[in-house]
Amino acid sequence: MNERSMRIVVFTGVDQLDADWIRRLAAEPDTNRLERVGIAASGLELVWQTRPDMVIVDRPVAQTEQLISQIYAS
């Protein structure tokens, strides 16, 4: 793993888990690990356990605000 490797968690809708932009991000050389999450509760557990370098939330605004608040509250 190079020193610029990123661990990323992407929250998105279940129907968007295989979106082109997510596949391209996962293929980037600096991406060490990318987890796709369609269910918020599972994703929160994953974030709390793995402490990724980046969390991307591709959800409606209200859900995004709630997820971000829960992530920072941990």
54-65 per-position pLDDT tens digit = 999 999 999 999
What pTM does this model have?
0.84
If one compares 4 and 35, the residue with the highest pLDDT of the two is 35
Instruction: With beta carbons less than 8 A apart as the criterion, state whether 16 and 36 touch.
Output: no
33: helix, coil or strand? strand
Distance CA 48, CA 72 (A): 10
